[in-house]
Amino acid sequence: MSDDVDVVVVGAGYAGLTAASDLVSAGASVRVLEASGRVGGRALSVDTAAGSTVDLGGQWVGSQHTELRSLAARKGVEVFPSYDIGRQTVMADGRPISRLSRTAAGAIAGLARLSLAIRFGRGLSDDRLLSDWLTGVRPAQARRVLDVVLAELTCCSASDISMATVADMFTGAGGVREMLTVKDGAQDALLSRGAGGLAEAMAADLDGVIELNARVADVERSSDGVTVHTDDAAIRAKRVVIAVAPPAAERIAHRPGLSPARQSMQRNLRMGAVYKAVAAYEEPFWRDDRCDGQLLVLDGPIRSAFDVSPPGGPGHICVLVPGPAARQLDALDEKTRREAVLEAVADHFGERAKMPLSFHEKAWHHDEFARGGYLGMPTPGHLAQVRAERARPLGRVHWAGTETSDRFNGYFEGAIRSGKRAAAEVLAAL
């Protein structure tokens, strides 16, 4: 039986779209199979009542995200700087915490200690939980600040992640300062058409290659090729690139079965929980009151909020709620949840924040295809295994996705780099 295509790519997120683009550019015939009804994966942009576009998935462009910036430039998508006037306000019990307080000093000292531990490799066992490390941070409110900050980055409870994994995350992203900084850091800029808009621009160049609503059920390997089965078709190819998060890839059956190491790796990467909301206004009115655009909240229904408005308006306020706090919001009905979120936002941005033109939300841990956010995190004790297996090809099966990237793991930058790596592997083997 002749092959239908040279390569099947499973997943139309940034990794899959990048791999497909590189393969097509090199002359390979490609079919992209996407289980959902859209492209973008963990990038999702929606239109607001203000006539603007906002991201309900990943959104930021880091200062070191060279591949993402290059991609945006090629597709004609403008990158604009994040609003970064003033310093982040930290609130507890409805009041801002003074930057001269013991809490602030303790939190800064804790971050410095974490940065030094990562730099010199001290106390970073894969068997030591982040929650255990946090017990050494004083005073208690400073410990709570770091707990919230680190949950924002991992979408996990501190008791579900090891110190080795935390260190690996920071190292791959450029360091503690890089991950926590807006200007010249990981939150340096945003995309004018949204991350979802950039994914759609990538997909437009793959016209006729992408098939939506095509859930892959199993992959059959043989000595002379692979057969990828969906609910409606069987597609023959020389190679396959699976470019979805490992926890989602676990639903794909393989014949013959995956290696025990690969199966164990997929079981021991778990997606975090995260809720995101964006409220749109005619203008960023809070700037008139010299209100800074970054908020961290230690209690209540939300954990952080950011001014992500484009130059010249309209106004956009982005809210992130990670980990256990995200699951607590699940208990609220839509109306009550919206009121609670906007009430918390208004405590900092002003009463007008309660009356947006439109309000948009997404709980990624309820997404049947992403299965959580921002990425799959290794369970304690399994980091070495995950690092060894996450990108290792299995015969004619190759793996992509931000989880498989050594650098910028968890960012779109990592996804793009993984797609390029997987495409290069395939081209070398064809």
Q: Does residue 81 belong to any structural domain of this protein?
A: no
Distance, in Å, from the CA atom of 392 to the CA atom of 387, rounded to the nearest integer, reads 9
Q: Sorting pLDDT into bands at 50, 70 and 90, what band is 36?
A: very high
Distance, in Å, from the CA atom of 88 to the CA atom of 302, rounded to the nearest integer, reads 15
Give the residue from 129, 153, 180 where a domain finishes.
180
Tell me how many domains the chain contains: 2
Q: Does residue 421 belong to any structural domain of this protein?
A: yes
Task: Judge if 391 and 243 occupy the same domain.
Answer: yes
First to last CA, the chain: 18
Residue 27, burial from CB neighbour count under 10 angstroms (0-12, 13-18, 19+): exposed
CATH of the domain at 11: 3.50.50.60
The alpha carbons of the chain give a radius of gyration, in whole angstroms, of 22
Q: What is the mean pLDDT of residues 28-35?
A: 98
Is the pLDDT at 2 greater than 70? The verdict is no
Q: Does residue 315 belong to any structural domain of this protein?
A: no
Q: Using one digit for the tens of pLDDT, what is the confidence trace for 370-379? A: 999 999 999 9
Q: Does residue 361 belong to any structural domain of this protein?
A: no
What percent of the chain is predicted at pLDDT more than 90? Answer: 94
Is the pLDDT at 41 greater than 70? The verdict is yes
Question: Between helices 14-25 and 194-204, what is the axis angle to 10°?
Answer: 30
Task: Judge if 223 and 107 occupy the same domain.
Answer: no
Q: Using one digit for the tens of pLDDT, what is the confidence trace for 81-106? A: 999 887 789 999 989 999 999 999 99
pLDDT of res. 394: 96
Task: Judge if 97 and 152 occupy the same domain.
Answer: yes
Distance, in Å, from the CA atom of 321 to the CA atom of 184, rounded to the nearest integer, reads 24
Task: Judge if 100 and 162 occupy the same domain.
Answer: yes
104 CB-near residues (< 8 Å, 6+ apart):
90, 97, 98, 142
Is the pLDDT at 60 greater than 90? The verdict is yes
Nearest to 206 by CA among 14, 401, 357: 14
Helix and strand counts by DSSP (H, E) for the chain: 14, 21
Task: Judge if 390 and 266 occupy the same domain.
Answer: yes
CATH of the domain at 103: 1.10.405.10
Q: Does residue 244 belong to any structural domain of this protein?
A: yes
Task: Judge if 390 and 252 occupy the same domain.
Answer: yes
Structure pTM?
A: 0.97
Task: Judge if 206 and 249 occupy the same domain.
Answer: yes
Pick the range with the lowest mean pLDDT from 83-87, 318-322, 341-345: 83-87
Q: Using one digit for the tens of pLDDT, what is the confidence trace for 170-194? A: 999 999 999 999 999 999 999 999 9
Is the pLDDT at 1 greater than 50? The verdict is no
Element (H, E) at 329: helix 323-329
Domain that holds residue 106: 89-180
Cβ atoms of 297 and 91 within 8 Å: the answer is: yes
Q: Does residue 176 belong to any structural domain of this protein?
A: yes
Element (H, E) at 318: strand 315-322
Give the residue from 121, 154, 180 where a domain finishes.
180
Task: Judge if 158 and 107 occupy the same domain.
Answer: yes
Q: Using one digit for the tens of pLDDT, what is the confidence trace for 262-304? A: 999 999 999 999 999 999 999 999 998 778 889 999 999 999 9
What percent of the chain is predicted at pLDDT more than 70? Answer: 99
Task: Judge if 166 and 231 occupy the same domain.
Answer: no
